[in-house]
Structure 1
Amino acid sequence: MDSVSDYYSATQLRSDRWSALREATTSLCREHNARKAETLKRRISDLFQSLSLIEPYWAFPGMAAFDHMRRQFEHGNYDDLSFTTNRIKRALTTGAYRRRSIPLERDSSDDEEHNDEAMLSPEARAMTRPYFEVLLVDNVNDQQERWLKSNVSRMRRAEDPFHYEAVVVPSLEDALIAVLFNHNIQAIVVRPGLILKSKNPNEILNKYVSNASGSAEIDAMLPEDYGPELCRLIARVRPELDAYLVTERSVEDIAGLDLGICRRVFYNQEDFMELHLNILRGVAARNKTPFFTALVEYSKQPTGVFHAMPISRGKSITRSHWIQDMGAFYGPNIFLAETSATSGGLDSLLEPQGPIKEAQELASRAFGSKQTFFATNGTSTCNKIVVQALVRPGDIVLIDRDCHKSHHYGMVLAGAEVVYLDSYPLNEYSMYGAVPLKEIKHQLLALKAAGKLDRVRMLLLTNCTFDGLVYNVERVMEECLAIKPDLIFLWDEAWFAFARFSPTYRQRTAMRTANDLRKRLRTEAHHEAYAKQQEALKDASEKDMIGARLIAPPEARVRVYATQSTHKTLTSLRQGSMIHVNDQDFKGEVEQSFHEAYMTHTSTSPNYQIIASLDVGRRQVELEGFEFVHRQIEAAMAMRRAISSHPQLQKYFKVLTVADMIPEQYRQSGVTSYFDGEQGWTDMWDCWDNDDFVLDPTRITLAVGGTGWDGDTFKNSVLMDKYGIQINKTSRNTVLFMSNIGTTRSSVAYLIEVLVEIANELDDLLDDASKMERLSFDRRVKNLTENYPPLPDFSRFHDAFRPGDLTPEGDIRTAYYLSYDERNCDYLELDGSLQDALDAGQEVVSASFIIPYPPGFPILVPGQVISQEILAFMRALDVNEIHGYRADLGLRVFTPESLAALPGGTSPKPNAEKRKGK
């Protein structure tokens, strides 16, 4: 039997233990060899012991049934035990326990056993009542526990919209374990009798408590505070849940306490019906989907269509003789739900007053923002909306150079003066990491020294990056606010929408950090810490400031925006995205300009199906986001372990570890890998709590240079064409696999099978290869794994596009529009005229965005001087496409005459080091 250390999560452990118990009990019934039977009995005994530490936190099968099974085993009733185990495992696998009572007696019949949830049609599943579990926290004996459960059960009625079962645990620690372990729990009832410590010690469970709250914090609690403190701690790890506090304390005592997620306090009463109704109401509030519900109701109404949408109600399709296949493929509902925003049927995305407004308010609650706005044309548009709403011509914006191209175009539209920030390079894998905080602070301090800090408007960073690098959001924001107290932050969380629903990830999201920072800045302890640091740094140099852990002034304004591609990591139709706002000055300063920017970029004919999917996607993550994200991480961890520990795969592939992706100086925790073959799993919490950068484990970057294929060829010619495996991103010698909330263990198993098959085929190919073929293979591998081109930094903007020479900001808008006139541009060939011009010492300036794919980041922007390093990188890249580059003409550049005609175009050239603003 695998040890506990072999498992990343208790959920995986539980599932595999039940599978193993089913196999062992079935085998025992058939085994006639006494020695083998004894071996099976010992295994079953060990499995019971392992499961006994886990089952108290689940309603099904429940501890009463579990203890009965142990007695069956002890009394030798192996046939009965096998029957019960098989029925329980089937119910757990299919989810049948969620919609009906599962009989466990040997002579009982289960007529619906072969009609379980997984076999039902979507329509039939939609008709079933959703199931959840309620956690009762009270230190009671077995008889009192039965009394509690029976009183809760008696309150349930046939007309209730949901069905739930109760789980009883005795202590605060057990409650924390339960909510972090049991994804079925949607509500917690905290009763006065709870105790502090769990009596259920277990290696894999104990980490849940330590991650939820440090043991020292728990040990310091007073008994009378156990209930309120539990509500507060649960709010820290699973804020989407509802808690109800039953207390004997006075109103005055309770009023001043932080009750976290507590929705209502019951004073020393046993009004189970009132409690029952509150539980249902709390879950119903999260289950509500105002726009989706309105759209469904609209589709049922008889209407006469006299507006400009022939496809509305499907009329243009049903009357057609030639496009019936479209109607058959999509079905009728999608067309019945089509309407125009101007027809008055539902609500307007541009001026929401009804169900869209309510849906956005619910999304704001779910994601922890102050305001949330839906978008139906992707996060590219969201980025442009935020930038245009906040940035005025001439404002200085600090921006990650290898961020999504929509940000670069947003800078053009807004007329910003851009300071590009360089990420640390990962030359060996032809990708960039993330921007070190020291680089950001250096640029802010340089702008301050030049007297330009008042013009600095925004810091724009990608969190997390496509490759899975996540910033220490709290530290970045606080230290930047220490230099520029009203700095606005735009965090591109296009690939990070799911992070809100994991306790580990949530601490590094923009909205969570903004809320925490707003609270902390108001505390007396923060005021004192700030005053003390100000005294210490009174005469500090720039070097001292960069090296110090800066503290933001208490009067700093927390102004944070996050754009998220809901469709990329959660449930939404393509292009469904959200803008989350947590800006203290939004109402007074930004609201009108934001509205104008939103109107500028949002279609007047938004897709209602996308809006409905955003509404439903929000409902899903509030009710089961914790479960789905947890399983997503489990799948990724299983993939990491399987590839890293498979001897055949190690010949040709390597899963890049934390140490491969993040240099040591940015890993204060010292964590190098999430899985080690000798030590097992590493607890992520410590590094996610402290390190400058962390690696999202759901992004698995696989180095494939050892196969002799570059990343693009491996993606298209091998994975996609031969095996039907789709991925998004590659670099010169890597491919990126991402698990998501839809990834299953079967999907992981298939990927491992494919990689093993590829490795075996490479073995066969090399076995049969001639000497020259083997030399050719070795050369390709060496070229991909050793002869890699160094990644170039951002060079600089040409002086014609710079307002001065002290700091590096550039006017990207002027450069962009200058290229609209063909007379201002010329084309130079990479291997000919461009190389000659640089060798001759000429300044050559790009007239376009140049984006090699892969790796997919801009290595040139309009107005940027082309360096020898950039040219060498472009020539060394072996890629199929370079966006912005014309292979038939060459690289588009500005003519010297067009640059000379601009103000500053003929000004004296300062030295290169000074021009970079270093």
Structure 2
Amino acid sequence: MADEAHAYNSVWQLRGDAWCRLDEAADRLNRQDTVGERRDRYVGICRDILAELTPLEPYWAYPGNTRFARVQRLFTDGSYDEFGDLVTRINRALTNESYRSGSQKRAGADDTELFPTDPRDLEQQPVSRHDQPYFEVLVVEAMSDEQEQALRREVRSWRRPDDEFRYELVVVGSGDEALVATRLNVNLQAVVIRRRFSHASPRDLSSLTEFLDTSLSQNLADHLFPDERAEILAASLTELRPELDLYLMTEIEVEDIAGRLGEQFRRVFHAREGVLELHLSILQGVAARYRTPFFSALKEYSHRPTGVFHALPISQGKSIVNSHWVKDMVSFYGLNVFMAETSATCGGLDSLLEPTGPLREAQQLAAEAYGSRNTYFVTNGTSTANKIVTQSLVAPGDIVLLDRNCHQSHHYGMMMSGAKVVYLEAYPLPGYSMYGAVPLREIKSKLLALRRAGKLDRVKMISLTNCTFDGIVYDVARVMEECLALKPDLVFLWDEAWFAFARFHPVYRTRTAMYNADTLRRKLSEPAYIAAHETRLAADAAHPPTDDELLERRLTPDPAKARVRVYATQSTHKTLTSLRQGSMIHVYDQDFDQKVSEAFHEAYMAHTSTSPNYQILASLDLGRRQVALEGVELVQRQIENAMQLRDAIDNHPLLSRYLSCLKTSDLIPETYRPSHIGQPLRSGLQNMMAAWEQDEFVLDPSRITLSIGRTGYDGDTFKRDQLMDRYGVQINKTSRNTVLFMTNIGTTRSSVAFLVEVMVKITRELDEHVADMALGERGHFERRVARLTADALDMPNFSGFHPAFRDVVDVVDVVHVGDDADAGLAESTPEGDVRPAFYLSYDDANCEYLDAEQIHEYLDAGTDVVSATFVTPYPPGFPVLVPGQVFSAEILRFIADLDTPEIHGYRPEYGYRVYTRKAIDMLVEGSVG
């Protein structure tokens, strides 16, 4: 099983496929023509698959130990007909999830369950007992089979037809198995820890070592008191699956234990008082996450008769249903979308700008789900969310460290706030015409330079993109710790536009902003950390480290000075369930109430419509419910689909001839990977965890950057002419020789299969065309391939702001001192002011257009040419020039070599918009004066 498991990211997917293979093998075993060696072969296949399933089945409620034992018994007894029938029923129930509704005894018995639910049926909103959402509850206690069955019967006896949900039990007897079950079983929503459980399982768990935590077993063995052991287990379960409701059942000192452990458990019960209250509490706990305050209020509003005497004629569909010409809107969208339209903020609804009712509750529930202290809904995308955060935190003159390759909304946010920007350089990937992420050494060097220049007090914020469009993920904890060691009050804005899903995977979560903000706050208050830092301070006082030494050392923040101030912006609509432009701002800022809340409110008002789209807000509420209850399952499926796509391409003899999926080692240089694991996920969960714990950067495995240079197509042509125009395959990003495929929680195995089919068709046609090429045409093709695969582009760094848009001291340095007379002056630092550079272009008299050849002539003559606009090639999609930045020959060459059809800020008929020499001279003279 170990070799098989390595091909999967999620064991539940391996298990599902194993049942499908067992069903197929059992069917072939029972065919009349299966005799002799052929029969022996299928008997052996069934035996191997049963052996593969045996260590897995105890951790799911269906088919359950009793039913699975019957499967094994029928096979062992040679009752292959009954064995095959039972396996078919179980596989059918697992495939179509019919075991979730009605009686598990009947699950999989109906042939109509072979077909999935028609999505159109959802419009009818059927309500019946069989529509109760289903989940599973883990019980941790060593008990006999008879005791386990008695517990199941008692729990089932408390069910009522009007219960909102239904659940089944999974019972394990040890702490290590509790952790295994929590890792494997995505159906779990609650865990009940009872008094008697062992630290280690009597079962053979050797095939599950990848999911065991031996340190937990040892820790449990070292503690004798039941409440201590329960506390240790609860902490491990919470770290792994923070969304689970934990319950404790004990028999001694229940009041004292509740006082000590109440923070870790939703409820603490006395074991002798029965399970009714526990049963009701479990249902109530899931109901709390299931609640959608704003969606429910909007749905209730849509059912009310109202008289509309305000704006919005479309409200309740009244301008549509009586129309002779637009009734097709109702037939296409459905009536409910119009029934729920209103511009009113009363009558059970709420105001986005001043929420006090259901919208406020919805945002509070989102904060709980995402681990923030405050969460705010945004209805016009993360571009607006970034501007809100920036404007609420940054005042004119504040210095901000900004990833140069970030989304354009950050650049515009800098312009609007009047920030002095220090651009951070990401490491280049010239072979693929893209940039990676910003190394920590680059960030520290900029902070140290600002400290030497006496400007560290003006540094307000750093903004980084995590993860990048191409899937490069930062070590968020290390970045924040080392930056706070140099600047204890630094504010972090993590742009997680493409990373909202990461909260709901136990490995991904460790590199998210909110998780690390909470972890860091707790760490700074730990006595052991405080003592270690005092020792470090004493050593540094005796031998003060140089800046070069600080660059090499892993720095730790001073717990007496550091403040945890972290913001994350997420495009919920990009990676989770939400209508388009639905986004969230998550805040974990210790100083928010005292220093930011008023400014944040004003910035929110400035950028948010007074007529927000209530459908978007409701979808954010529903999307939060979804990830709170099934986020783990959805994200695991997303990653599994990505890995299946990678394997299908790299292992296909034709596809691998022209295409290859870039590995971690292709996109992250080894200097940033101390683990030295080139493909962490493909080599097992433990290797993935090791890489994500050690490496400065890791790769999001749900993104597949496909190298296509050997096809002879550039990325944009491959996307437009092959994928989109011919087959309707939609992708976002390309580079000169790559295209990016992203799986998401809506990706299905069928859609992966379709993409593989499309790629095979494209490469088969290409292969046939190449085989038929004449000698001259073949030479042209090979040169094109060589240009895309062997010729790497030079990746230009940020060329710098013109002195006219730098700090006054920098202008004085340049104008009055000269290159050889800088002794004694403050160190020049690279921050520039985008705002005046942006608005200077509003006067056409200050600008002119120059083409690339003219700009080269000026540069050759030693004359600066300054951009008056943002210049952004698509692809790669980041500004290579911002207002106030000087042109360089490297930038012009990079743009020309990209051969990209779309460059924002560039007009082919005129050229680049730049500032006249007169305008720049007037600015410099004014600064000096």
Which residue of structure 2 lines up, in the alignment, with residue 552 of structure 1?
Answer: 557
Q: Which amino acid aligns with 1:741?
A: I
Percentage of pairs with the same residue:
55
Residue correspondence of structure 1 range 181-580 to structure 2 within 5 A:
181-202=184-205, 205-210=208-213, 217=219, 220-222=222-224, 224=226, 225-251=228-254, 254=257, 261-342=264-345, 344=347, 346-538=349-541, 539-555=544-560, 556-580=562-586
* 1:507 aligned counterpart, secondary structure: helix
Distance across 1 between alignment mates of 2:82 and 2:570: 52
1:741 corresponds to 2:745: yes
Q: Which amino acid aligns with 2:883?
A: P
1:462-508 deviation per Cα after TM superposition (whole angstroms, max 9, x unaligned): 01111001100000001100000000000000000000000000011
| Kept after mapping to 1: 8 A contact 2:714/2:738 | yes
Which residue of structure 1 lines up, in the alignment, with residue 820 of structure 2?
Answer: none
| Kept after mapping to 1: 8 A contact 2:681/2:687 | no
Residue correspondence of structure 1 range 760-799 to structure 2 within 5 A:
760-799=764-803
| Kept after mapping to 2: 8 A contact 1:60/1:97 | yes
Q: Which amino acid aligns with 2:649?
A: I
1:821-851 deviation per Cα after TM superposition (whole angstroms, max 9, x unaligned): 1111111101x21111111111111111000
1:698 corresponds to 2:702: yes
TM-score when normalising by structure 2: 0.94
Which residue of structure 1 lines up, in the alignment, with residue 88 of structure 2?
Answer: 86
1:29 corresponds to 2:30: yes
Which residue of structure 2 lines up, in the alignment, with residue 121 of structure 1?
Answer: 121
| Kept after mapping to 1: 8 A contact 2:514/2:586 | yes
1:653 corresponds to 2:659: yes
| Kept after mapping to 2: 8 A contact 1:95/1:116 | no
* 1:167 aligned counterpart, secondary structure: strand
1:721-770 deviation per Cα after TM superposition (whole angstroms, max 9, x unaligned): 11111111111111000010011111111111221222211110011111
Deviation at 1:123, TM superposition (A): 4.1
Measured on the aligned residues, the alpha-carbon RMSD in Å equals 2.0
| Kept after mapping to 1: 8 A contact 2:176/2:213 | no
Which residue of structure 1 lines up, in the alignment, with residue 671 of structure 2?
Answer: 665
Which residue of structure 1 lines up, in the alignment, with residue 837 of structure 2?
Answer: 815
Select which of 889, 907, 918 maps to 2:910.
889
Which residue of structure 2 lines up, in the alignment, with residue 594 of structure 1?
Answer: 600
**Aligned CA distance change for structure 1 residues 256 and 662 (closer, same or farther; 3 Å):** farther
Distance across 1 between alignment mates of 2:453 and 2:845: 36
Q: Which amino acid aligns with 1:823?
A: A
310-319 or 33-42, larger mean C-alpha shift = 33-42
Which residue of structure 1 lines up, in the alignment, with residue 886 of structure 2?
Answer: 865
Select which of 601, 620, 634 maps to 2:626.
620
**Aligned CA distance change for structure 1 residues 59 and 901 (closer, same or farther; 3 Å):** same
Deviation at 1:537, TM superposition (A): 3.0
1:606 corresponds to 2:612: yes
| Kept after mapping to 1: 8 A contact 2:371/2:514 | yes
TM-score when normalising by structure 1: 0.95
**Aligned CA distance change for structure 1 residues 113 and 493 (closer, same or farther; 3 Å):** closer
Which residue of structure 1 lines up, in the alignment, with residue 56 of structure 2?
Answer: 54
**Aligned CA distance change for structure 1 residues 434 and 788 (closer, same or farther; 3 Å):** same
Q: Which amino acid aligns with 1:776?
A: H
Q: Which amino acid aligns with 2:417?
A: A
Residue correspondence of structure 1 range 824-903 to structure 2 within 5 A:
824-830=846-852, 832-903=853-924
| Kept after mapping to 1: 8 A contact 2:674/2:695 | yes
Distance across 2 between alignment mates of 1:120 and 1:331: 11
1:630-666 deviation per Cα after TM superposition (whole angstroms, max 9, x unaligned): 1011111111222222222121111111011111111
Q: Which amino acid aligns with 2:744?
A: N
1:247-287 deviation per Cα after TM superposition (whole angstroms, max 9, x unaligned): 23435763675666410111332421000010011000000
* 2:136 aligned counterpart, secondary structure: strand
* 2:616 aligned counterpart, secondary structure: helix
1:287-341 deviation per Cα after TM superposition (whole angstroms, max 9, x unaligned): 0000000000000001111111111111111121111222211010000000013
| Kept after mapping to 1: 8 A contact 2:514/2:588 | yes
Q: Which amino acid aligns with 2:847?
A: C
Which residue of structure 2 lines up, in the alignment, with residue 7 of structure 1?
Answer: 8
| Kept after mapping to 1: 8 A contact 2:175/2:217 | no
1:81-110 deviation per Cα after TM superposition (whole angstroms, max 9, x unaligned): 1111111111111111111114369xx964
Deviation at 1:209, TM superposition (A): 2.5
Deviation at 1:413, TM superposition (A): 0.3
Deviation at 1:115, TM superposition (A): 7.3
1:53-77 deviation per Cα after TM superposition (whole angstroms, max 9, x unaligned): 1111111111101111111112222
Query: Gaps spanning 5+ residues in structure 1: where?
Result: 909-918
| Kept after mapping to 1: 8 A contact 2:193/2:230 | yes
| Kept after mapping to 1: 8 A contact 2:297/2:348 | no
| Kept after mapping to 1: 8 A contact 2:8/2:643 | no
Deviation at 1:669, TM superposition (A): 1.1
* 1:121 aligned counterpart, secondary structure: helix
Distance across 2 between alignment mates of 1:738 and 1:32: 44
Distance across 2 between alignment mates of 1:6 and 1:708: 31
Distance across 2 between alignment mates of 1:300 and 1:124: 15
Distance across 2 between alignment mates of 1:712 and 1:44: 48
**Aligned CA distance change for structure 1 residues 766 and 260 (closer, same or farther; 3 Å):** farther
Q: Which amino acid aligns with 1:626?
A: V
Deviation at 1:166, TM superposition (A): 0.9
Distance across 1 between alignment mates of 2:148 and 2:566: 47
**Aligned CA distance change for structure 1 residues 319 and 866 (closer, same or farther; 3 Å):** same
Distance across 2 between alignment mates of 1:401 and 1:216: 47
Residue correspondence of structure 1 range 899-914 to structure 2 within 5 A:
899-903=920-924
1:147-182 deviation per Cα after TM superposition (whole angstroms, max 9, x unaligned): 111111111111211111111111111111111111
**Aligned CA distance change for structure 1 residues 572 and 126 (closer, same or farther; 3 Å):** farther
| Kept after mapping to 1: 8 A contact 2:716/2:734 | yes
805-814 or 331-340, larger mean C-alpha shift = 805-814
46-55 or 692-701, larger mean C-alpha shift = 46-55
* 2:341 aligned counterpart, secondary structure: coil
Which residue of structure 2 lines up, in the alignment, with residue 16 of structure 1?
Answer: 17
Deviation at 1:49, TM superposition (A): 1.4
**Aligned CA distance change for structure 1 residues 261 and 769 (closer, same or farther; 3 Å):** farther
* 2:402 aligned counterpart, secondary structure: strand
Q: Which amino acid aligns with 1:770?
A: A
244-253 or 700-709, larger mean C-alpha shift = 244-253
689-698 or 258-267, larger mean C-alpha shift = 258-267
**Aligned CA distance change for structure 1 residues 34 and 444 (closer, same or farther; 3 Å):** same
| Kept after mapping to 2: 8 A contact 1:241/1:261 | no
302-311 or 256-265, larger mean C-alpha shift = 256-265
